[in-house]
Amino acid sequence: MCARLTTMAHRLAPASTSGMARLRFSFVARQATVDPAGDESGGAPPIASDERELVATVALWLLSALLALPVAMGGVAKLTGEQQMVDLFTDIGAGQWLRPLVGVLEIAGAVGLVVPRVAGLAAGGLILLMLGAVVTNLVVLGTSPVLPLVFMALAVVVAVRRRVQATSRRTG
């Protein structure tokens, strides 16, 4: 629609019109939109669905990266045996065997978040992992579960959006 209005504006603008007047006429023509009933409105043209999809995809990638980075860092800390993590898993009382297992699962989830084919599955795995962290924080450690709850909420958003994208690709 915008391209047609611009083309019409250039055809309608007289050749003798100064450059500034032609530019203003072209700008006004680009701003005008016509609804299906034929009424003109002065608003900006609506964003195309392709543009919305691109914005949603970029936002999803940023959210996935925002979640993957701290989760991966936590996984590396658990695998490398940082003293804080060793002490944390000692306080949990399940044994140190759980620390590297959780570290591997966190790293796998973080890597999976940035691989489109498995991002939804990885987010689902992180949801379960963070659910375990929330329960452990509340029941075993008696600490605030805010951080795992935030990570879980972000993982839910990623999982749902990836599911929506996968479904929309299949249907058309």
pLDDT in tens, 86-105: 999 999 999 999 999 999 99
Contact (Cβ atoms closer than 8 angstroms) between residue 45 and residue 2: yes
Query: Same structural domain for residues 21 and 55?
Result: no
Enclosing domain of residue 11 = 2-41
Residue recorded with tokens 């936590």:
74
Query: Same structural domain for residues 15 and 94?
Result: no
Query: Same structural domain for residues 157 and 73?
Result: yes
Overall domain count for the chain: 2
Contact (Cβ atoms closer than 8 angstroms) between residue 94 and residue 78: no
Distance of alpha carbon 148 from alpha carbon 101, whole angstroms: 17
Query: Same structural domain for residues 33 and 84?
Result: no
Stated as kind and residue range, the H or E segment containing 33 is strand 33-34
Would the pTM count as exceeding 0.85?
no
pLDDT, averaged per 10 consecutive residues of the chain (172 residues), comes to: 41 44 40 47 63 92 97 98 97 95 98 94 97 97 97 97 86 72
Distance of alpha carbon 11 from alpha carbon 22, whole angstroms: 11
Distance of alpha carbon 172 from alpha carbon 169, whole angstroms: 5
What pLDDT, on the 0 to 100 scale, is given for residue 166?
A: 85
Query: Same structural domain for residues 139 and 160?
Result: yes
How buried is residue 20: exposed, middle or buried, by Cβ count under 10 Å (0-12/13-18/19+)? exposed
